[in-house]
Amino acid sequence: MKQVLVVEDSRTEQTMIVSILEKLGHQAHVAETAEKAMEWLAAHQPPDLIVLDIVMPGANGLELCREVRANPLLKTVPIIFCSSKDQDFDRFWALRQGGNAYITKPFEPEDLIETINEYLPPLSQ
């Protein structure tokens, strides 16, 4: 079972993302802020994937991504940005900061599933 850290402040989005991850056979851990995510990361083994919002209270997802990439234990963990910011510049900047993929909210569940499967191949082929 792969471990996925979901960093998202919206309860609705959290529920949807966690549901998708569980259906794929992965275990989700939720942090509502970048600060809580860093606390979780410091206390646990590196996750297999991070699903990360950009706009959150306190530090934003881009700042968290930079911190993750600066940590030798975390720098190779794939990061999927999932954000309501839909301008080309937003996507470019998120990927430039170290993100591996970018999905715009609202998204179709199939789009998130496809992107997750790129980084965490399905458990049952």
Which CATH homologous superfamily contains domain 3-119? Response regulator (3.40.50.2300)
Rg of the chain over Cα atoms, rounded to whole angstroms, equals 13
Condensed to tens digits (0 to 9), the pLDDT of residues 19-64 reads 999 999 999 999 999 999 999 999 999 999 999 999 998 999 999 9
Tokens 């049952």 belong to which residue?
124
Domain spans in the chain, listed from the N-terminal domain onward: 3-119
pTM beyond 0.85, yes or no = yes
Handedness of CA 44, 45, 51, 54 (dihedral sign): positive
